[in-house]
Amino acid sequence: MSERSDEKQTYPFHWLDQVVEVTLNPAKTSVKHLPAETMRAISDRLPDEFAEVTSRLKAQAFCLYTGEHIKVVAGHYDQAVRLLQKQAADNLSQYPRTGLLRQTGEMILERLNDLALCLYTRYPAYLPPALPAEPEEIPAGLLSKILCALSADQLGILLRAATDAGVLVGRSFRKVCKAVAPYLSTPWKTDIRPDTLRSHGTRPESRDKEVTIAFLEKMIEKIRGYR
C-alpha cells in the first residue's frame, strides 16, 4: 500500500482538508466557477464526515489507558480543527455574500465550530487552554478572555439582543460592544474588535441569526432542566 493511501486511512481529516484547503480555497481554485453539483455533493457528505471524525476520536480515546496518551490524541484533533477553522473562515471572507458557495462555506464553518465545542466539552482536562494562561504578574483587575463557540458575527447578534432586551444595561449598543469585546474570543479569532460586534449585530445575516437562535434554544432547554 502506498504512503498516500496509508495517510488517507490514518488521518481522519483527509477529505475535509482537501475541501477546505484546496477545493473551496479561492487562492487555489476558481471557486466562483465551481458547479452547483460539486457544492451539493460536499454539503451532502459533510454530516457523515464529521460523524466519522467524532466516532474515530471516541474509539481512539476509549482504547487508551493513560491520560497522557489521550492528551496527545485530543491535542492532534484540536490542532487539526483549529487549522481548518482558520482556513474555512479565510475562505468565507472571500465568498459572495449570497449563493450556494456562501451557504456551503457557512455550513462547513458551523460544523467545525460544533466539533471544536464537542472537543472542549468532552476533553477539557486534556486540551491546552484556548489562550495563554494568565500569569501571576498580571494585575488582578485584568480578566482572562472567554472562549465562545459562536463566531464574532453571531456574538454581535447575541449582544444586540441582550442589550435590546435589557439583559445588558448600557448607554448604547456601541458602548456595550466596546466594554465586552476585549474579554471575548472564538476558536478562530483571538482578538475581536468592538466594531466587528457592532456592525454584524446591527446588520445580521440570516444564517448567523439561525445559528444564534439555535444556541439560545439549547440554553433554554438547559435552564428548563435545572433543579
pLDDT tens-digit series, residues 124-167? 777 765 546 333 333 333 346 777 878 888 888 999 898 888 88
Other CB atoms within a 10 A radius of the CB of residue 124 amount to 10
Question: What's the grid cell of residue 142?
Answer: 485584568
Cα–Cα distance, 220 to 227 (Å, whole number): 14
Start-end of H helices in the chain: 3-10, 14-18, 36-63, 67-93, 100-122, 152-164, 173-180, 194-202, 206-225
Q: What is the structure's pLDDT at 136?
A: 37
Same domain, 105 and 157: no
Cα–Cα distance, 15 to 202 (Å, whole number): 36
The residue out of 88, 122, 156 marking a domain boundary is 122
3-state secondary structure of 147: strand
The residue out of 107, 122, 137 marking a domain boundary is 122
Among candidate residues 119, 123, 13, 117, the one with its CA nearest the CA of residue 68: 123
Say if 110 falls within a structural domain.
Answer: yes
CA max distance for the chain: 66
Say if 134 falls within a structural domain.
Answer: no
Overall number of domains in the chain: 2
Say if 133 falls within a structural domain.
Answer: no
Say if 127 falls within a structural domain.
Answer: no
Cβ(42)–Cβ(51) below 8 Å: no
Same domain, 156 and 112: no
Cβ(109)–Cβ(86) below 8 Å: no
Say if 136 falls within a structural domain.
Answer: no
Lowest mean pLDDT among 4-8, 12-16, 99-103, 161-165: 4-8
Q: Which DSSP symbol is given to 127?
A: S
Same domain, 207 and 112: no
Cα–Cα distance, 214 to 81 (Å, whole number): 22
Same domain, 13 and 108: yes
Q: Report pLDDT digits (tens) over 11-68.
A: 889 999 999 999 999 999 999 899 999 999 999 999 999 999 988 888 877 776 567 7
CA distances from 190 to 86, 118, 125, 196, 222 (A): 11, 19, 21, 13, 27
Please, what sign has the CA dihedral across residues 204, 205, 211, 213? positive
The parent domain of residue 214 ranges over 146-225
Say if 189 falls within a structural domain.
Answer: yes
